[in-house]
Amino acid sequence: MSLTIKSHFAYPTYLSFTTKPSRFTGYNTKIRPNSIYHFNPLKLTYYQPKKMQAPVQYSPAPVIKSSLIEPDGGALVDLVVPEGERGAKTIEAESLPKVRLTKIDVEWVHVISEGWANPLKGFMREDEYLQSLHFNSLRLKDGSIVNMSLPIVLAIDDETKERIGSSSHVGLAGPDGDLIAILRSIEIYKHNKEERIARTWGTTAPGLPYVEEVIIPAGNCLIGGDLEVLKPVKYNDGLDHYRLSPKQLRKEFDRRNADAVFAFQLRNPVHNGHALLMNDTRRRLLEMGFKNPILLLHPLGGFTKADDVPLDVRMEQHSKWIAFK
């Protein structure tokens, strides 16, 4: 078996190993990977080692487009329909069977549509769901593996399933009934709640807020497919100008000539401990040779604890703290 080690050179470096004969059987011990749910973490692409060639002389010309790391899975996903096509797509969505979304479902549409869950292009179909649930990752068509430790799924009840019938596409409507997206080439499969809870949280004990409020009351089926979002998701709460997409953030980092970005995610107001960590991280990056490290302060909205400080209050505090700094 050979493992390809990716490096900054144009040619792959190889690490080869073989198993030793077993003193019990006299035969070589073999690893026999068992494919589960079309996914096998032991299945690695094999490259036949070739005769080592002389190193290639490289041009000193830079080939890096940006100082930022590349998105998982390649190109950044953007599932929002172009403005010129929205009228026709909305008319099509109105003619399709409808799935009514909860507030949290809409937030997941937002997450997927802007590429926060790259390379996911919609709510998970069953093979993607099981890979994420059991292996914390997804295997892409090219054989590469990306981290995906949290299943992103859409639950429906039996009545909605019957209403969908044999349709290949459905329209997604928000809590107020407004159409927000089309879900294409759908797949409906069983929502095994106990398995999902156990694999995600490592326990089925009662008392987990998201489990109690979202998963247990949800429908007995999951529906997956490719998303086409009719327009950018907005919350009209006075905070939308803070909600930059990954594409907008990358553009802003490039505009500021950032050679490193360090993120701090939090669900509370900034306090002295947070500030010490952020300042120390920046100091260490400067010591490592970076010239312009940029902080991304990333407060959590959406589903938080009932006794957390409200998001609008936190954002005001964050703004004052950044202005002071």
For residue 242, give the DSSP letter: G
User: What span, in angstroms and rounded, lies between the C-alpha atoms of 314 and 308?
Assistant: 10
What's the CA gap between 46 and 81, in Å, rounded? Answer: 39
149 and 92 within one domain: yes
* Position 123 in a domain: yes
Domain C-terminal end among 194, 229, 264: 229
Determine, yes or no, domain membership for 58.
no
Dist CA 153 CA 224 (whole Å): 7
Same-domain pairing of 270 and 209: no
43: in domain:
no
Looking at 214, 229, 244, the residue that finishes a domain is 229
Tell me the torsion sign for CA atoms 77, 82, 86, 89: negative
What is the extent of the structural domain holding 186?
83-229
Could you tell me which of 144, 40, 14 has the C-alpha nearest to residue 4?
Answer: 14
Q: What is the CATH number of the domain that holds 164?
A: 3.10.400.10
Whether residues 217 and 260 fall in one domain: no
The reply to whether 218 and 312 lie within a common domain is no
Nearest-angstrom CA–CA distance, 191 and 187? 12
Among 147, 133, 180, CA closest to 36: 133
Task: Mark whether 201 and 315 lie in a shared domain.
Answer: no
Tell me if 169 sits within 8 A of 162, measured CB to CB: no
Closest CA to 123 of 93, 101, 141: 101
- 186 and 271, same domain (yes or no): no
CATH of the domain at 292: 3.30.429
* Residue spans of alpha helices (H) in 81-125: 86-94, 103-113
Angle of helix 126-135 relative to helix 193-201, nearest 10 degrees, comes to 40
74 falls within a domain: no
Same-domain status, 181 and 312 = no
Query: What element of type H or E holds 169?
Result: none
Same domain, 184 and 319: no
Q: Is there a single domain that holds both residue 274 and residue 178?
A: no
Q: Is residue 206 part of a domain?
A: yes
DSSP 306: T
Whether residue 146 contacts residue 72, with contact meaning beta carbons closer than 8 Å, is answered with yes
* Paired tokens of 165: 């019938």
Identify whether residues 273 and 310 lie together within a single domain: yes
Is 179 among the domain residues? yes
Say if 114 falls within a structural domain: yes
Q: Say if 75 falls within a structural domain.
A: no
pLDDT per residue rounded down to tens, the chain (325 residues): 434 333 333 333 334 344 444 444 444 444 444 554 555 555 545 555 555 555 555 445 444 445 678 888 888 999 999 999 999 999 999 999 999 999 999 999 999 999 999 999 999 999 999 999 999 999 999 999 999 999 999 999 999 999 999 999 999 999 999 999 999 999 999 999 999 999 999 999 999 989 999 999 999 999 999 999 999 999 999 999 999 999 999 999 999 999 999 999 999 999 999 999 999 999 999 999 999 999 999 998 877 777 889 999 999 999 988 887 6
Same domain, residue pair 93 and 192: yes
Q: With contact defined as beta carbons under 8 Å apart, do 278 and 291 qualify?
A: no
| Shared-domain flag, residues 203 and 104 | yes
CA-closest candidate to residue 152, choices 141, 162, 166, 138: 138
Mark residue 265 as left, alpha or beta (left: phi above 0; alpha: psi -120 to 50; beta: remaining): beta
How many domains does one find in the chain? 2
